[in-house]
Amino acid sequence: MKKIVSLIALALVLFTCNEDNDDNAVITPKVTFNFTHQWEETTINSANLETELVTNANGEVINIDRIRYLTSRFTLTNLAGETYTLEGHKLTDLSDEDTYNFTPETNNIPSGTYTLSFVWGFDEVDNIDGSYPDLNSANWNWPEALGGGYHFLQFDGMYNVDTASPSPFNFHNGTAKVSDGVFEQNFAVITFDTVLAISNDTTIEITMDIAELFTNPNTWDLNVLDTPLMPNYDAQKMMQQNIMSVFSIGTISE
């Protein structure tokens, strides 16, 4: 009888300990980012990327051929100012919807309340020639003569397609060339004010309004700035300024 009572007491102790461990367990949710794209109110995806005619703020009617862009250093900052950088980079190709979602390599964070930021392109630490096999195989390299590293954006198409004389444009963004052998970092840090309460695995929608690339604060005149723009310092800095208004937080789901 004494043995039975002892076993029951031991079982109760173990059960209580397990309950305590569960209560004290740190929940570390996983975060996934879902990028969606639009031109003002029109959704742009792989189905209509090359067929949807859009009009920019300067009045040019555009047919899009390609949009690819790079983002990196997704960072969540809690109310105490502690930051959690989710490792990995994301190359989004609007022709391939499999690239719209991004689950960073190093991910789990403590439950809490956060704000989000990420880097447009690569910063000066990450933007190193030849360092990323996936980007190398995607022909994503930025020419060494223009500063090397990688593209941030490739946006190609035709403009004035409603006229008898349409013309091509190549809106490519990366390191800015100041002069021969002198280059300027040209990435941007995109920071959102939206407060994110994360307690479980969470998907955060980030919406890209492509029209903003040609709108704010610089109204882009493709008749003047169409191609080549990669060696054009002023054009590269204008792109960096315009990218700041392109992204917004959409739906947040657990």
Q: What is the pLDDT of residues 187-214, one digit of tens each?
A: 999 999 999 999 999 999 999 999 999 9
Q: Which residue has the tokens 């195989």?
A: 137
Report the candidate in 223, 240, 220 with the shortest Cα–Cα distance to residue 168.
223
Question: How do the domains of the chain map onto residue ranges?
Answer: 27-253
pLDDT, position 27: 65
Buried b (16+ CB within 10 A) or exposed e, 104-116: beebebeebebbb
Buried b (16+ CB within 10 A) or exposed e, 219-244: ebebeebbeebbeebebbebbbebbe
In the chain, % of residues over pLDDT 90: 85
Q: Given a cut of 70, is residue 17 above it in pLDDT?
A: no
Q: Nearest 5°: phi and psi at 26? A: -90, 120
List Cα–Cα distances, 219 to 106, 157, 239, in angstroms: 38, 18, 11
Q: Given a cut of 80, is residue 34 above it in pLDDT?
A: yes
pLDDT, position 1: 44
pLDDT, position 6: 39
Q: Given a cut of 80, is residue 4 above it in pLDDT?
A: no
